[in-house]
């Protein structure tokens, strides 16, 4: 019997990802972050920080965790601890997203079965 386990996936997604406007739905351009940045902060144990920057200078930041439920399905959970005025209500919350990491591209569904928002390194 095969059982899938949740495994932290942070070490493989460090870096900066920019929205691929040509390969994404218009809703991604209107509401999604323009840039996602993921980094490791030294310490024992190390922590993993993110920052999402939106149009107009807004954004939020905090800790994150990508969780692998099997070899091809990795989802992102955000824990914001700072934010601009438009995202203050997120601080202190756990945000379970539909962001997935596949082939070094962060993706989320939009506008139908085969359409996706895409952020590339």
Low-confidence residues in the chain, pLDDT < 70:
1-12, 68-74
In a domain, 71, yes or no: yes
* CB half-sphere exposure, 99, CA atoms < 13 A: 24
Residue 69, pLDDT score: 64
CA-to-CA distance for 34 and 9, rounded, in angstroms? 23
Residue 70, pLDDT score: 62
In a domain, 1, yes or no: no
* Collapsed DSSP state (helix, strand, coil) of residue 28: helix
Residue 114, pLDDT score: 76
Residue 62, pLDDT score: 96
In a domain, 2, yes or no: no
Residue 3, pLDDT score: 38
Residue 19, pLDDT score: 96
Q: Could you give the number of structural domains in the chain? A: 1
In a domain, 100, yes or no: yes
In a domain, 48, yes or no: yes
Residue 92, pLDDT score: 92
Which residue segment(s) compose the domain that 55 sits in?
7-120
């Amino acid at each position: 019997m095969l059982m899938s386990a949740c495994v932290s996936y942070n070490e493989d997604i460090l870096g900066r990802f920019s929205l691929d406007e040509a390969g994404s739905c218009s809703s991604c351009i209107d509401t999604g972050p323009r840039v996602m940045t993921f980094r490791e902060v030294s310490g024992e144990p190390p922590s993993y920080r993110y920052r999402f920057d939106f149009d107009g200078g807004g954004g939020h930041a905090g800790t994150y965790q990508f969780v692998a439920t099997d070899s091809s399905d990795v989802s992102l959970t955000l824990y914001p601890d700072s934010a601009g005025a438009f995202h203050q209500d997120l601080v202190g919350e756990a945000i379970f997203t539909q962001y997935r990491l596949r082939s070094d591209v962060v993706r989320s569904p939009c506008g139908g079965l085969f359409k996706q928002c895409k952020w590339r390194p």
